[in-house]
Chains A and B, each alone.
Chain A
């Protein structure tokens, strides 16, 4: 089955700097890669996603890139703000795997003013 590795486990950045989180996946048949943000005591919320037929996607300060050949994808947050502090999870959806997301272990991002 699919295995997703996520790095780093913690990331501390100064407000205004960029943050990058990287994930690798094992199953080349995986075709959908969402990113979720989970604030303390809250539910995971989708912040951006990318499908395997696209190499990059942007939404304001957030972008995701996908390299299918190397089987890795990355989340980029620019101009970080204190409200970006949270745990971020990457995930992969295997083809023909109904309703199952395989999650990375998560990255604790701390943005210091």
Chain B
């Protein structure tokens, strides 16, 4: 099976702009989780989607949002970008998102905000 894919791999934006990142899960996986990775804060959970529904959300401001489509592909959006949003954004897919399911990570999207 093909692994988790993310597009684009790199993005450069300026403050105030918005950005949309895309994640395609492993075929058959219905749960997609998003994480932000920074040197200072490590890996932090953003949100999780299953069957087009957000089931869990981390402690991020409302500028961070996401959605999932009927084919399980997911997008996340960040509006009104701030310098501190510069990070590696990783998505991970699993069968159902439960404790019995391994999460497999995509390669990430490196976002730089200038």
Q: Assess whether B58 is interfacial by the CB under 8 Å rule.
A: yes
Q: Give Cα distance in the complex from A101 to B48, angstroms.
A: 10
Interface size on A, residues (CB 8 A): 25
Interface of B is mostly: strand
A97 to chain B, nearest CB (A): 6
Q: Give Cα distance in the complex from A32 to B103, angstroms.
A: 11
Q: Mark B85-114, 1 if CB is under 8 A from A, else 0.
A: 000001010100111101111111000000
B98–A98 contact, CB under 8 A?
A: yes
Complex interface: chain B residues within 8 A of A45 (CB): 105
Complex interface: chain B residues within 8 A of A31 (CB): 99
The tally of CB-CB contacts under 8 A between chains A and B is 68
Q: Give Cα distance in the complex from A99 to B30, angstroms.
A: 11
> Which A21-59 residues sit within 8 Å CB-CB of chain B?
31-32, 34, 36, 42-46, 49, 51
Q: Assess whether B56 is interfacial by the CB under 8 Å rule.
A: yes
Interface size on B, residues (CB 8 A): 29
B48–A100 contact, CB under 8 A?
A: yes
A43–B107 contact, CB under 8 A?
A: yes
Instruction: Using known A-B contacts A46-B104, A100-B48, A106-B42, determine if residue A95 contacts B90 with beta carbons closer than 8 Å.
Output: no
For A6, the closest partner residue in chain B by CB is B42
B13 to chain A, nearest CB (A): 21
